[in-house]
Amino acid sequence: MGLRDSSVLLALALSLAYCSVAVVAYDPLDPRGNITIKWDVISWTPDGYVAMVAMSNYQMYRHIMAPGWTVGWSWAKKEVIWSIVGAQATEQGDCSKFKAGIPHCCKRTPAVVDLLPGVPYNQQIANCCKAGVVSAYGQDQAGSVSAFQVSVGLAGTTNKTVKLPKNFTLMGPGPGYTCGPATIVPSTVYWTPDHRRRTQALMTWTVTCTYSQQLASKYPSCCVSFSSFYNDTIVPCARCACGCGHGGHARPAGGCIEGDSKRALSPGVNTPRKDGQALLQCTSHMCPIRVHWHVKLNYKDYWRAKIAITNFNYRMNYTQWTLVAQHPNLDNVTEVFSFQYKPLLPYGSINDTGMFYGLKFYNDLLMEAGPFGNVQSEVLMRKDARTFTFSQGWAFPRKIYFNGDECKMPPPDSYPYLPNAAPAVASQLIVSAAASAFLLALLLVA
């Protein structure tokens, strides 16, 4: 191989590596999903500006759950935060050089969190104070925005002298999000309440953050199991589907709790830890969440599937949970019992993906592990004579996502098969064996 060929191969390898990094945050079921952070400068001050910061979640089925978001950045110069309404910086930093009028935060890399519900009205603005919880856009559009107002000092006081913050980070609440650079965009336009006057921000920039499950965790956070009315076999979650302890044993290094042990009923077992470490029920799969899909009934023109979601984490409940399924028959959903359902159309005419979520104040809260740590529903689908079949595992979903993370599926060759499939395979084996014996006899005679 010549030097030129080696150079070409090296360039190709580098381009492939770059592409693999670039697409790591791409979600094929939500290709346009992202969180956009928008800064609107609404007024200038003697040494800086006042900005309205809005965080909009454009992800269809991935929300930010408790304990909420944390957004951070690096100042381009020596800016300080004089005050914040609707949020707060987690640390004040060193403000010793200020003799009077101490800033809210003097850190070069501030980290800001939402305020809790119920704070005094003079500390609130619209869309703030939800403990950092932001709904998915496809589930609750009104709740998919979080906002705060920040007064920045020691900064530029005109469009030409303002330096944009950089190195944005977003925890939602854990890792997984990657944020791009701040980009100046056309100023946001506002209408007065009577819609007779239009105003606009003095300056606007946006930051786009995308989620990658690979960056969030090296293991899945949920698994899927299958069963059916036409086969007694129950296909469980794969062993160690969500990672296990050292040596591949289905018991993590931090330990787990047997479901029937006294410790599972002890006081404080459901108290979350500050580091977010889970306390799981001991299972072979060691996943916090298991989704079970059961092919329940078959009618002349319809068929019915049952979906059950079980929480095995004693330290976490899931508020406003979402479940996304990909199945070719979701284009003919007739009725969903006790869950909300919304079709997702990431590619326009292809209607094979849908989102399930709980009914408000009924089952939109998945409780901690234990007797109440499960929710379930049934889906009635109309058959399409051109595609419907129970053979080859067709009745089971292709993908399952829980709270935006893809779940570990069973291997395809383990799916429950139709009862008549086994005799057919057996008869084929018998015929094949007989043919082989006949051929062998012919060879011996010859």
* CATH number of the domain residue 299 falls in: 2.60.40.290
- What is the pLDDT of the chain when averaged over all its residues? 87
Predicted confidence (pLDDT) per residue in 409-429, tens digit: 999 889 998 887 544 443 343
The answer to whether residues 305 and 295 touch, using CB atoms and an 8 Å cutoff, is yes
- Is 59 found in the same domain as 169? yes
Percent of the chain with pLDDT over 90: 72
- Is 266 found in the same domain as 192? no
Q: Which of 227, 225, 218 is nearest to 285 (CA)?
A: 225
- Is 186 found in the same domain as 117? yes
- Edge-to-edge strand list for the sheet holding 111-114: 87-89, 111-114, 70-74, 166-171
- Is 248 found in the same domain as 284? yes
How confident is residue 252, by pLDDT bands cut at 50, 70 and 90? low
pTM of the model: 0.84
- Measure the N-to-C terminal CA separation of the chain; round to a whole number of Å: 53
Residue 441 has pLDDT above 70, yes or no: no
Residue 16 has pLDDT above 50, yes or no: no
- Is 230 found in the same domain as 207? no
- Is 268 found in the same domain as 404? yes
Instruction: Give the domain range for residue 126.
Output: 35-215
Q: What is the CA radius of gyration of the chain?
A: 28
- pLDDT, residue 124, reads 95
Tokens of 411: 């291997």
Please say which residue of 215, 232, 256 terminates a domain: 215
- pLDDT, residue 278, reads 87
Q: How many domains does the chain divide into? A: 2
- Is 186 found in the same domain as 53? yes
What's the whole-number mean pLDDT along residues 255-259?
Answer: 83
Q: Which of 150, 164, 153 is nearest to 73 (CA)?
A: 164
Predicted confidence (pLDDT) per residue in 55-107, tens digit: 999 999 999 998 999 999 999 999 999 999 999 999 999 999 998 899 999 99
- Is 223 found in the same domain as 190? no
